[in-house]
Chain A
């Protein structure tokens, strides 16, 4: 009985979607997709086509020359490799340290509310206010324009995300298994490392992906803290600022190279999105 009833009510709801609502959602989808389609199609257009009126919606002779130019002539490949090195390292450190801290906050209430809010407050500081002092200190330490410098900066600025996401995850995890392990004679460390962490792997993976996307798409810190050596993919776009119009193919190709990985990862963790965006405050 029940499934049938649900089925019919669902069908009637399907039929009740009014035309205006469909039109509204269709306009929204076009608004989202059109710019992305335009970048993609510009990236494969021969150079004559992107300065054509009316605009060319699909080129007769698609080409990949802009991709090779963007990756090699504009050194986008170096940026790509630097982005990978920095983002992966910072994600690893942030999630490792974040998980350790989150476990302590969730199970022992370490430092009370003050400590957890102190970490959270880092998320709300304006980047310009932090990056100036970091720049001055890195100058003394010789960390400007190094991978290590950028990795440390990214680790710190993503810690609020990883700590708070894992904090929320550990809090909703029952502690009975860890307590059973303690009763069986495990130390605190083994009950954490061998029992709690393996159970928290799904949460850690989600936190890691959000951290990675945050590092991968970050521009401001990279702009200030790197120049010729450790520059990341987003900062390569500076090269296209001075040439109005002429470099659109290369800029589009580089945009596609940069946005595809983060979009794929983002859609993969879609079901954790609400937790990720609100640092675990809302369970999606």
Chain B
């Protein structure tokens, strides 16, 4: 079940003596201090520092830090590859999340009732979650290799004719390959959360529906979906915010190629910053990307909170 973020966590200050209350104030802030200082030093301070980088020249190819105004932003916004990579990110993360959600929901529904071996089956299905995405990419490079990988061979056997798909270099198969790797790794994420939702529905609700002669589709739409809607939203939100980072599998599977055709936003910014060393331009792009991400966070997380407080 959901535990409300804004739940009753109020301190019981009322019945304590004033001196105890002051020492409590010290105590509670001391406990918070190490983590807060570390976040300030390693995350917040560099972010603030990078605001300066946005408006100067910070480039390993051009010496000096002269003030350049909005040039860094202009270079990113008017770069067709940047805009293209943003669309690739939007398209791939949407497809990935939708496929993973539907597949995860289907598996969760298929396993909602207990049966012998269910625990073992869950253990097997969740394995991809614990593997480094870079290794998942490497695994699928092996699987999809043309002509030596098993995928084309198995497809040839199944379909009865020779399949010679260039999974990693041919359009649109390179996108299919990236989706395949992502779906393989992250469908269990949806599955696990949705299964927890499904098993928390009390059985008597279904029994009552069955007695009233409600059909399976109606039961699904009017009982199951409303009941697990908060979990669905939570799963999609968390997954989407990770899906838009999309970098590791592209790095190892396609290298952004052929050409720049599989550049995601993160991959684009990485190449600008760390293979071409236009650091201030990459920082400007990263800020634009971060603000777009925060808009998504704001919209989704606010939905999540209003849903939770109900």
Q: Which residues of A contact B (CB under 8 A)?
A: 10, 13-14, 17, 21, 24-25, 28-29, 31-36, 38-39, 42, 50-55, 93, 96-98, 100-101, 103-111, 113, 115-119, 121-122, 124-130, 132-137, 152-153, 155-156, 159, 163, 168, 171-172, 188-189, 192, 213, 216-220, 223-224, 234-235, 237, 240-241, 245, 248, 251-252, 255, 258-259, 262-263, 265-267, 270, 273-274, 277-278, 280-284
Contact = CB atoms under 8 A, between A and B. Distances in A.
B34 to A, nearest CB: 4
Contacts of A55: 148-150, 153
A155 B42 CA distance: 9
Given A132-B279, A262-B131, A119 B39 contact: yes
Contacts of B134: 219, 234-235, 237
B147 A274 contact: no
B31 to A, nearest CB: 4
Interface string B234-255: 1100100100110110011001
Given A126-B266, A133-B53, A135-B279, 13 more contacts: A14-B116, A17-B113, A108-B28, A126-B293, A128-B273, A136-B58, A217-B131, A219-B134, A220-B248, A237-B134, A265-B130, A270-B122, A282-B197
Given A29-B121, A270-B123, A273-B192, A156 B38 contact: yes
B79 to A, nearest CB: 16
| Chain A contact residues: helix, strand, loop or mixed | helix
B6 interface: yes
A24 B110 contact: yes
Interface in B1-53: 1-3, 5-7, 9-11, 23-24, 27-29, 31-32, 34-36, 38-39, 42-43, 45-47, 49-50, 53
Contacts of A104: 27-29, 31-32
Given A13-B115, A133-B53, A270-B122, A35 B43 contact: no
A76 to B, nearest CB: 12
Contacts of B192: 273-274, 277, 284
A38 B139 contact: yes
Interface in B116-137: 116, 121-135
B35 to A, nearest CB: 4
B286 A100 contact: no
26 contacts: A34-B143, A35-B143, A104-B27, A107-B11, A109-B11, A116-B5, A125-B43, A127-B247, A128-B269, A129-B47, A129-B287, A129-B289, A132-B269, A156-B39, A213-B130, A218-B132, A219-B251, A220-B247, A234-B135, A251-B141, A255-B139, A259-B130, A277-B193, A282-B1, A282-B234, A283-B3
Contact of A25 (B38, B107, B197, B247): B107
Contacts of B301: 124
A261 to B, nearest CB: 9
A133 B124 contact: no
Contacts of A25: 107, 110-111, 121
A129 to B, nearest CB: 4
Contacts of A116: 5
A281 B2 contact: yes
A32 B184 contact: yes
A283 B7 CA distance: 15
Contacts of A119: 35, 39
Interface residues of B, number: 100
B176 interface: no
A188 B50 contact: no
B67 interface: no
Contacts of A132: 50, 269, 273, 279, 282-283, 286
A130 to B, nearest CB: 6
Contacts of A98: 35
A248 B138 CA distance: 9
B205 interface: no
A255 B135 contact: yes
B71 interface: no
